[in-house]
Structure 1
Amino acid sequence: MEIGISTFVETTPDTKTGVLISHAERLREVVEEIILADQVGLDVFGVGEHHRNDFAASSPAVVLAAAASQTNRIRLTSAVTVLSSADPVRVFQDFATLDGISNGRAEIMAGRGSFIESFPLFGYNLNDYDELFEEKLDLLLTLQKSEFVTWSGKHRPAINNIGIYPRPVQEPLPIWIGSGGNSESVVRAGLLGLPLVLAIIGGRPIQFAPLVELYKKAAVHAGHDVNKLQIASHSHGFIAEDRMTAVDKFFPSTQQVMNKLGKERGWGTYDRSAFDAARSLEGALYVGDSETVAKKIINLRKNVGITRFMLHVPVGSMPHADVMKAIELLGKEVAPTVREEIKKWEANQ
């Protein structure tokens, strides 16, 4: 059971003071967070790609590379790379470069993106949303398999037997598929034999169990060994020394972000009752003390089949010291508890 962190490198106003830190300061903070995550024994750190004012990381590979030479063990991944609006050749080169700097710890998490700002920015038509992803994923996987590439498609100029450099330390460079819970995307990942990441940020996580089974069935149908495939979850959460401290610190910034996105997307108002319901054992928020969060992760592993858990923290801007403490508790207290319990449970299966 792998445990790690994901972040969108948020830069929203402080809910108490209204102060807005700069993109530069937040980027430097997240590098410190990655270094700490490595030091406390976490397995993976993911940085999401966005192209808007309230998120600072438009280039995850650059952020991860800044921490790569200052870390030793932790795996470094995008979370996600918006592949539909990117050049797969450049994506592969960037992460192959990161793989070299980190000596074989880079991963790509490819997704279509729930945020669409990158499409007009890079000149893509949203009407081609699905077609772009399928074509660009095909190219990315072609790049993963071969040094010299011959490929043609509709939305990008053809490549005729050209070498792609640098070559990664890992052959093949790991590529995950990120999904918000769409059955088509999990079937695609299964048929391709690619590891899957599910964004479980609402509802009841147990509802994702049928999607995991669908993914496995697709993988078996295509001749892949499901025992070798990883399934990850990406879920919002926060850890503090005691449960109510975690709750009271995490709610204000979470509410701020969820209501801002809700206005953009036509969602209902996010209030304390919705927050409290989501942090129950059956809910999708992993907020509380170390014991509470560990119990929820164990429950997710046993009932949904997740093999990697990524705690998304913060949601909105929170004091850097609080985020660092949450990472420390996840690595030093939650992760050992989860690993030990899952090891015992698996031995009895």
Structure 2
Amino acid sequence: MRFLAITLIVHAPDPVTGEQVGTAERFRQVVESATLAESLGFDGFGVGERHEIPFISSSPTVVLSHIAARTETIRLFTAVTTLSLLDPVRAFEDYATLDHLSGGRLELIIGKGNGSAQRDLFNVTPEDQWDRNAESYEVFRRLWAENRITYDTRFRPPLHDAQVWPQPLQQPIRIWHGSATSRESVDLAARHGDPLFSANVTHPAEPYGELIDHYRKRWIEHGHDPQRIAVGAGTAGFYAARRSQDAIEDYRPVFAGYLQAQKRLGVDPVFPTLEDYVERSSALIGSPEQIIDKVHRYHQRFGHTVMHLHAEAGGLPEKKHRRGLELFAQEIAPVLRTQIPDPPWGWGSPDPLLA
């Protein structure tokens, strides 16, 4: 099994202390989280893309380029690239450049994106967002493979014998499809034989499991080798301590902050208590043994071989969050790496010259 640490770069008051750092400090924290993840042996680091408050992750290529300069081996992910909002030609230029700057360590997780504010900002409607996502992906992947293309696009000026630079370093590049609640992303991934990354954050396991089942079914219907399926899955939260009782009590203020945030938004929480959250959500909170057992239970349902953890404290004291990540790296990850297989293509660049 392989492990990512990810951040959406939320820039908001700490849910426990109420303090908020400046923007420059917030970006510094993200870069430090990435270097810590590499030092702890994580396989990848992901940066989200959102174009609305309270996120400042509107330019993941810039952030990942800086992280590329501060790291050496960890693979760099987008989580997710919102292709439904972007001009695919401009996105290709940015990511092909980042591919070179990172030495071929780039992987993308694409998706249509969530949130009405960012959709309104880019003048995208709910009715056309999925079509935009699919078209942008088709253009992006063809540019990566062919560089010079003709494409009769609907949502940007058509391309006629268009050549775009720079040519990327990796050929091909691995592109995952982020999946949350809709079959459209699952169908797009299965049609192209691409790996799937399930959000697996907001709800209990079953809705995500049903989408993964649909993905596997559609994969086979499209004639792909079932042995080549790769699924990743997220986690709603993470904190490990030697004793489960300590993990629960340390996390209790964080969960209280989460409930307050849900109340301000007028949303009924899916998991009304911390105990329910620990039991029924994908959050990994407890002792190493409990966390290993829970990952296995999710693996039995999803068959996933890649998993992400939150890179940042999110309300936990920074020292405790770091100790939790260190415990994960020392006692949890080695067991899961042994007991759960890697993706069928292993790890590293899909380009054999860079793998």
Same fold (TM over 0.5): yes
**Could you tell me whether the CA contact under 8 Å between 1:237 and 1:313 is conserved in 2?**
no
Structure-2 residue corresponding to 1:201: 201
- Separation (CA, whole Å) in 1 of partners of 2:196 and 2:185: 9
- Separation (CA, whole Å) in 2 of partners of 1:131 and 1:113: 13
Structure-2 residue corresponding to 1:252: 253
Structure-2 residue corresponding to 1:38: 38
- Separation (CA, whole Å) in 2 of partners of 1:174 and 1:43: 15
**Could you tell me whether the CA contact under 8 Å between 2:202 and 2:270 is conserved in 1?**
no
- CA 1:253–1:11 in structure 2 vs 1: closer, same or farther (change >3 Å)? farther
Structure-2 residue corresponding to 1:186: 186
Structure-1 residue corresponding to 2:135: 135
- Separation (CA, whole Å) in 2 of partners of 1:325 and 1:150: 52
Deviation larger for 240-249 or 208-217: 240-249
Structure-1 residue corresponding to 2:290: 292
SS in 2 for 1:292: helix
Work out the percentage of aligned pairs sharing the same amino acid: 32
| Equivalent residues, number | 342
Alignment of 1:230-269 (within 5 A): 230-242=230-242, 243-257=244-258, 259-260=260-261, 263-264=264-265, 267-269=267-269
Structure-2 residue corresponding to 1:120: 120
1:42-99 Cα distance to aligned partner (Å, 9 max, x none): 1111111122332222111211211112222211111111111112122222222222
**Could you tell me whether the CA contact under 8 Å between 2:130 and 2:184 is conserved in 1?**
no
SS in 1 for 2:123: coil
Deviation larger for 64-73 or 321-330: 321-330
SS in 1 for 2:237: strand
Instruction: Give the gaps of 5 or more residues in structure 1.
Output: none
Instruction: Output the amino acid matched with 1:288.
Output: G
* Shift in Å, 1:210: 3.3
Structure-2 residue corresponding to 1:328: 326
Structure-1 residue corresponding to 2:351: none
Q: Kindly indicate whether residue 307 of structure 2 is the aligned counterpart of residue 309 of structure 1.
A: yes
1:197-245 Cα distance to aligned partner (Å, 9 max, x none): 1111144325533322221221121122232232111112222333334
1:275-304 Cα distance to aligned partner (Å, 9 max, x none): 321212x53211123322222112222332
Deviation larger for 218-227 or 25-34: 218-227
**Could you tell me whether the CA contact under 8 Å between 2:202 and 2:236 is conserved in 1?**
no
* Shift in Å, 1:317: 4.5
1:152-171 Cα distance to aligned partner (Å, 9 max, x none): 21110112222222222211
- CA 1:75–1:181 in structure 2 vs 1: closer, same or farther (change >3 Å)? same
SS in 2 for 1:172: coil
Structure-2 residue corresponding to 1:283: 281
Structure-2 residue corresponding to 1:224: 224
- Separation (CA, whole Å) in 2 of partners of 1:182 and 1:14: 31
- Separation (CA, whole Å) in 1 of partners of 2:156 and 2:188: 22
- Separation (CA, whole Å) in 2 of partners of 1:157 and 1:237: 42
Structure-1 residue corresponding to 2:7: 7
SS in 2 for 1:69: helix
- Separation (CA, whole Å) in 2 of partners of 1:184 and 1:305: 20
- CA 1:271–1:151 in structure 2 vs 1: closer, same or farther (change >3 Å)? closer
Structure-2 residue corresponding to 1:84: 84
Instruction: Output the amino acid matched with 1:161.
Output: D
Instruction: Output the amino acid matched with 2:295.
Output: I
- Separation (CA, whole Å) in 1 of partners of 2:58 and 2:255: 21
SS in 2 for 1:117: helix
**Could you tell me whether the CA contact under 8 Å between 1:12 and 1:317 is conserved in 2?**
no
- CA 1:146–1:297 in structure 2 vs 1: closer, same or farther (change >3 Å)? same
TM-score (norm 1): 0.88
- Separation (CA, whole Å) in 1 of partners of 2:269 and 2:220: 42
* Shift in Å, 1:125: 3.3
**Could you tell me whether the CA contact under 8 Å between 2:231 and 2:302 is conserved in 1?**
no
- Separation (CA, whole Å) in 2 of partners of 1:228 and 1:271: 35
- Separation (CA, whole Å) in 1 of partners of 2:253 and 2:270: 11
- CA 1:256–1:246 in structure 2 vs 1: closer, same or farther (change >3 Å)? same
Q: Kindly indicate whether residue 158 of structure 2 is the aligned counterpart of residue 158 of structure 1.
A: yes
Structure-2 residue corresponding to 1:212: 212
**Could you tell me whether the CA contact under 8 Å between 1:6 and 1:234 is conserved in 2?**
no
SS in 2 for 1:279: helix
Instruction: Output the amino acid matched with 1:341.
Output: Q
* Shift in Å, 1:268: 0.6
**Could you tell me whether the CA contact under 8 Å between 1:145 and 1:172 is conserved in 2?**
yes
* Shift in Å, 1:146: 1.1
- Separation (CA, whole Å) in 2 of partners of 1:183 and 1:124: 20
- CA 1:322–1:272 in structure 2 vs 1: closer, same or farther (change >3 Å)? farther
Instruction: Give the gaps of 5 or more residues in structure 2.
Output: 345-355
